[in-house]
Structure 1
């Protein structure tokens, strides 16, 4: 996941895309909260397809990268590009790892039996490794969920985001539209194949350092990210003069909330739905968002706020989810019993994200930009 703030002052933001990223990020939190009560059974999950927000983030990222950088390579080096991306993304990666470590021992429960056997020294080492975003092998798992970033699970998608940026800068930025289209079509075929043949008929996966999960992660990355890049280059925008943000936000909420399709006997139906959303609906939403305009001050403020907190809230919220999961496990709590605490977690995640943004992320990025990119501004 990334944002449009690239320190390229001559290019305006797509305000609606900023806002939509925030909407999707909040839907991820709600999805994770309800997921705690589903015991891993997506057939009964409320906000059932919330995990598709990651695929939507990848598409937004590809579109914004193309918009921000495609026409600047004649005056920008690879080093400058990577500095910009690291400055934009990595401070909050570090914050997410620190928050994960700070809240780690508050998550002890029957769901996470390994926590009580994890020493402070091991925790600090894993936190430092998490700050680098390097994937950790399964033997370093201190939670039992096979996460390659066990203190802050969602960091796995930033790992793939970095890979996409590297592929773009080294190779794919040089592709013409035909070559890029061929790549995107091939990636779409992999998306359909994976979604139709997955054991549970979904695109879930990518967070573990093993061959199967890495394959799923790359499948989830390639079409959305480079499909977004292709959409940016083609300039296929759907022009909506009024309420574009609200229409797009509603579509995202509906897509991510649709109940599981097909049941246990017809997993392919759910897979078909997910591949259709990723390949067709997400590009339409991005096109509508990029082609639309924010006409009112109220909508503009909402888009700005949601855009500002979208990345911080995504990368820092999950340690709070771990705590909520531990509480549910320790108390065998139902959804009804958990609703007040869900609201508390959601409000706390927003507050944590906003504080991280204003007190840490923005000041750090300004200083790093002044030091390493001053000549480029």
Structure 2
């Protein structure tokens, strides 16, 4: 998911801001998802593509931050930096999920109150490592590899991409990396167009089919972002944050393409968005400049809260999903005040977590690890 560059290098503030825009849209996706009857009529229909956008952003910024550091940095140092950046919020996100686990009383999760405390705590401890749990340990009944905090699956694949980069792909020439990215793009398009639902949604279950989805969703965007960081020559683009934010919103809020009869059309749409549009957005964002102190503050705020927001919002969404499932027939008109409350509450919680937990812990880890 999100990434920040090393302190000695300047940030791309617009890319920080875009990460926050996408994170907020993810929350709106999860808030509208339980109001749909299936994958065809969710109001924020392509919100899950934000994960693919995060992977591309991460690959780009990691290439920018680390590619020229390897003569002075070991693989171990790289992993320490990644753990310092990612793991504190993973631990908090899983803990919040565990705190709320037995309180999300709903007919949608009848299994919850049959789960002994020791088993929930074991799943929590495994969750702290971001390693996936097998289906035999599913304690929610949604077949998720992280049932205490659903979004953990993408962090698992983020780590896989980081490991692949550090142990070998960082050494690829531009040509070799281009070939890898091309093969990954073909695999992604094949997945999107031929999948039963005509989309790339999935990757959160520990079985062969879903692992394929997760790996395919990770390989192209992450390493396309890495390639983009090596070959892009940014040019000055006016109002880049505004235009890029609009493009991200259009892609993610786009209604379903093709309907139930032509699901492959939606697969083509998603392939184009991930393979072409997302790299274009990142290139534009890297080419733009912030033009006012207000825009700079907005981008910084959105970038700062993006990762905490991603990790803390879903424990709150569980309560919202339980409420909707207990009140059959709930409409968007009835649900929106509660959805807005969850959205605002998630942003506040993310900011509190950032300032009172994440930044102090990361500062302590940097000091401890030198």
Unaligned runs of 5+ in 2: none
| Residue-by-residue CA offset, 1:297-340 (whole Å, 9 max, x unaligned) | 11111100000000000011111111100000112222211111
DSSP 3-state at the match of 1:43:
coil
**Conserved 8 A contact 1:203-1:271:** yes
**Conserved 8 A contact 2:51-2:154:** yes
Which residue matches 1:139?
A: 136
| Residue-by-residue CA offset, 1:90-141 (whole Å, 9 max, x unaligned) | 0000011000001112212011111111122221121111111110001111
Which residue matches 2:299?
A: 303
CA distance in 2, matches of 1:238, 1:338: 44
Which residue matches 1:314?
A: 310
| Residue-by-residue CA offset, 1:179-216 (whole Å, 9 max, x unaligned) | 00000000000011001100000000000000000000
Q: Deviation of residue 42 (structure 1)? A: 1.5
Aligned ranges for residues 68-147 of structure 1 at < 5 Å? 68-147=65-144
**Conserved 8 A contact 1:3-1:307:** no
CA distance in 2, matches of 1:62, 1:318: 24
Aligned ranges for residues 200-219 of structure 1 at < 5 Å? 200-219=197-216
* TM-score, normalised by the number of residues in structure 1: 0.97
Which residue matches 2:53?
A: 56
- Of 254, 258, 276, which aligns to 2:254? 258
Which residue matches 1:352?
A: 349
CA distance in 2, matches of 1:239, 1:214: 40
- Of 245, 248, 259, which aligns to 2:244? 248
Which residue matches 1:158?
A: 155
Which residue matches 2:26?
A: 28
Which residue matches 1:183?
A: 180
- Of 338, 341, 351, which aligns to 1:341? 338
Q: Which sits farther off after the overlay, 106-115 or 63-72?
A: 106-115
Q: Which sits farther off after the overlay, 116-125 or 316-325?
A: 116-125
| Residue-by-residue CA offset, 1:253-284 (whole Å, 9 max, x unaligned) | 01101100101110111000000000000000
- Of 286, 290, 294, which aligns to 2:286? 290
Unaligned runs of 5+ in 1: none
CA distance in 2, matches of 1:362, 1:9: 14
**Conserved 8 A contact 2:97-2:149:** yes
**Conserved 8 A contact 2:3-2:62:** no
Q: Deviation of residue 238 (structure 1)? A: 4.5
CA distance in 2, matches of 1:316, 1:340: 20
**Conserved 8 A contact 1:188-1:279:** yes
Q: Deviation of residue 3 (structure 1)? A: 2.0
